[in-house]
Every structure is written in C-alpha cells, then in structure tokens.
A and B are shown apart, each in its own frame.
Chain A
C-alpha cells in the first residue's frame, strides 16, 4: 500500500472544503463543505494510524497505554471527530433553521452582525 494516495486524497478534499466554505452563500451548502473538511481530517487520522504504526515497529509501548498494548489510536480519534461533527451539524442546522424562521433567508453574507435595529 502506498500511503501517499490516501494522504493526497485527504489534502485535496480539505482544499475542496475550504473552497466550498469561502465560495458558497447558502448556509446549508457551507455546512456540507465543512463536512468535507472534517472527513478529510478523519482520513488523515486513519491513514496516519497505519503509517505511524509501521514506523513504531519494535518500539516499547509506554506504561500508561497498558491495557491496549498496541497503538491503534487513529481510529479512535476518527470516531471522536465523527461524533463531534454530528453534534456540530445538529446545532448548526438548528441555528440555520431559526435564522430562516426569523428572516426567510439562508444567505450567510446577508447576516447583519451589527444587529441592534435589524433584530427588532
């Protein structure tokens, strides 16, 4: 397995996510691009799990890692990131829907940040 293939895939996906966040006006599409970026990071973590383990061959495992014995932490981190992404998209969509209910719009560049008189 050539580890460079998933690494470069993840880098390109992250670039696409950055492009989408900066390009899109619709808040839901911005959230989709954020999902792409989070997935790129997950892919990096899982791939690093493989390559770092190969580099750690015949290295003594530290005592605090005792019950595990072997370093498989990349997958665990990827699981945590997936859970965080689920929480993020839940709260984010709640905010987007509430904003839509107030203003009938989902365009992120029309949100008034100096919102005193606009709210009333």
Chain B
C-alpha cells in the first residue's frame, strides 16, 4: 500500500460516494454540486495516473463548463429550490439493472487485474500529449472539430424558434 494507492483509494471513494449522492439527492441544485465533487475527484485520479493534461481539461471543460451549463438549465426550467419529491421513478428495475451492471463490471475487472502491481508512469506533459494528437491522431482531431461546429449550429437552431418555423398554418396535412 503505497502513497499512490492510498490516494487512488481515497479519491475513488470520494468519486463513488458523491456520484451516489448525484443519483439519489432530492435537490436538483445539490445534485449538480455533488457532480462537481465527483468530477473533481476523477480529475485527481487522472493526476495520480499521470495524465496531467486530461486532468486539467477535465477541470476546465467538465467542472467549468458542463456543470455550469447544467445548473443554468436547472434555473431556466424553474426548478424548485427545496427538495422535490417527483424526481424519481420506481426504484426496483433501476436498482436491479444498475447494481447488475456496476457489480458485474467490478467483479470482471477485479478478476482480470487481481492485485497486480503496475509501475506508475512518469507524469505526462502537455508536449507529449500534443505530439500524440497532432501526430497520429490528427484526422480524428479535425473530425471532432467539425462535430463541435455541427453541435454548436444544432444547438442554435434548436433554441431559436424563428429558424425553420412554419409560417402560418400548414395548408394540407
């Protein structure tokens, strides 16, 4: 049990615990804030695993942008501030499938990797990651930029009612 193991264990417990609170909390806003804690703990896991750039991108994009977007949506849909009791469906099917998937995968991975010790890699720098992206992965990178553009235009078209709206009543249908 080294320092890295202890860090991984602690951050993993934090991530799973606050993830459980995300899917069980009855406050909408609190669920979003627990999501921040969970994503931050996962960023810490990335740091321990030597993926430094991924950790900072996680903090910037997920904690900085995605969660803020989710909280904006919570506000724009006029969610109640206090606890709301109509957030959930019946628990049994979800509990069955969720526990089945989670515990099944956990058992599978635990059986595959046992208690094997791996050497920690040296922390990866942004230079190494940049050489990767713009060397072997440059085509997926460009495709993903086109996808981001398409998502941006799609979100704008969806949220503006005056684009693509039918003028007047549709005549024959």
CB closest residue in chain A, given B2: A1
> A56 contacts the other chain (Cβ, under 8 Å)?
no
> B172 contacts the other chain (Cβ, under 8 Å)?
no
CB within 8 A of A90: which of B77, B121, B151? B151
Give the total of B residues in contact with A, Cβ under 8 Å.
Answer: 92
> A111 contacts the other chain (Cβ, under 8 Å)?
no
Please report the C-alpha to C-alpha distance between residue A97 and residue B69 in the assembled complex, in whole angstroms. Answer: 12
A24 touches B87 (CB 8 A): yes
B19 touches A50 (CB 8 A): no
A19 touches B151 (CB 8 A): no
B51 touches A46 (CB 8 A): yes
Chain B contact residues, majority secondary structure: helix
A25 touches B87 (CB 8 A): yes
> A4 contacts the other chain (Cβ, under 8 Å)?
yes
Please report the C-alpha to C-alpha distance between residue A42 and residue B155 in the assembled complex, in whole angstroms. Answer: 25
A16 touches B19 (CB 8 A): yes
Q: Kindly supply a per-residue 1/0 record for chain A positions 50-84, scoring 1 wherever the CB is within 8 Å of any chain B CB and 0 otherwise.
A: 11011000000000110110001111101110111
Please name all residues of chain B whose beta carbon is closer than 8 Å to the beta carbon of A67 when the two chains form the complex.
131, 135-136
A36 touches B19 (CB 8 A): yes
Please report the C-alpha to C-alpha distance between residue A17 and residue B129 in the assembled complex, in whole angstroms. Answer: 29
B105 touches A15 (CB 8 A): yes
CB within 8 A of B91: which of A23, A88, A91? A23
A61 to chain B, nearest CB (A): 11
Q: Kindly supply a per-residue 1/0 record for chain B positions 129-173, scoring 1 wherever the CB is within 8 Å of any chain A CB and 0 otherwise.
A: 101110111001100100110011011001101000000000000
Q: Which residues 2-46 in A have Cβ within 8 Å of B in the complex?
A: 2-20, 22-26, 28-29, 31-33, 35-36, 39, 42-43, 46
B73 touches A28 (CB 8 A): yes
CB within 8 A of B89: which of A22, A32, A93, A95? A22
Please report the C-alpha to C-alpha distance between residue A13 and residue B17 in the assembled complex, in whole angstroms. Answer: 9
A20-B23, A36-B22, A76-B137 given; A11·B155 CB < 8 A: no
A65 touches B136 (CB 8 A): yes
Please name all residues of chain B whose beta carbon is closer than 8 Å to the beta carbon of A82 when the two chains form the complex.
54, 57-58, 61-62
Please name all residues of chain B whose beta carbon is closer than 8 Å to the beta carbon of A28 when the two chains form the complex.
28, 70, 73-74, 77, 79
Please name all residues of chain B whose beta carbon is closer than 8 Å to the beta carbon of A35 when the two chains form the complex.
35, 39, 62, 66, 70
A72-B128, A76-B132, A79-B57 given; A47·B49 CB < 8 A: yes
A23 touches B88 (CB 8 A): yes
CB within 8 A of B152: which of A53, A83, A90? A90
Name 19 interchain pairs, CB-CB below 8 A, sorted by A.
A5-B9, A9-B16, A14-B105, A15-B101, A17-B23, A23-B88, A24-B88, A25-B87, A29-B28, A35-B39, A46-B49, A50-B121, A67-B135, A68-B131, A72-B124, A82-B62, A84-B144, A93-B72, A94-B158
